[in-house]
């Protein structure tokens, strides 16, 4: 059974930083592209970014470029999302997701972790 478990969310002031982690089990982690998504209240879920299964390519949505960084550790079956210079618009539930190699859709999802950016 595949499980993705996120952690690290919380409340942070604007301009602050948070680091999210997602530990995967039940799959061959090194063969999966890992992504981060978020959903703000009343809005649709959107992609934050992803790192390919080879580790050679990383995509970020424009609004988080130069502020967020995705890393993966294949020995720990873990993908990280380092978030710096956080803004109120970054508030939402953050989800980790996995898709096999370069598949079209993310097929496995975590339960999400809340990130709130507020003063």
Residues 101 and 9: their CA atoms lie apart, in Å, by 27
Report the 10 Å Cβ neighbour count for 61.
Answer: 14
Run of H or E including 14: none
Among the listed residues 95, 81, 116, 2, the one whose alpha carbon sits nearest the alpha carbon of residue 44: 95
Mean pLDDT of the chain: 97
Express each pLDDT in 55-73 by its tens digit.
899 999 999 999 999 999 9
pLDDT of residue 91: 98
Q: Is the pLDDT of residue 89 over 90?
A: yes
């Amino acid at each position: 059974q595949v499980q993705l478990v996120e952690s690290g969310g919380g409340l942070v002031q604007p301009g602050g930083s948070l680091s999210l982690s997602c530990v995967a089990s039940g799959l061959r982690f090194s063969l999966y592209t890992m992504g981060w998504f978020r959903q703000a209240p009343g809005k649709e879920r959107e992609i934050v970014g992803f790192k390919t299964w080879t580790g050679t390519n990383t995509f970020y949505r424009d609004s988080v470029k130069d502020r967020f960084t995705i890393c993966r550790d294949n020995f720990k079956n873990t993908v990280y999302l380092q978030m710096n210079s956080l803004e109120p618009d970054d508030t939402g539930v953050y989800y980790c997701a996995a898709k096999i190699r370069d598949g079209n859709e993310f097929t496995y999802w975590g339960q999400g972790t809340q990130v709130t950016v507020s003063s």
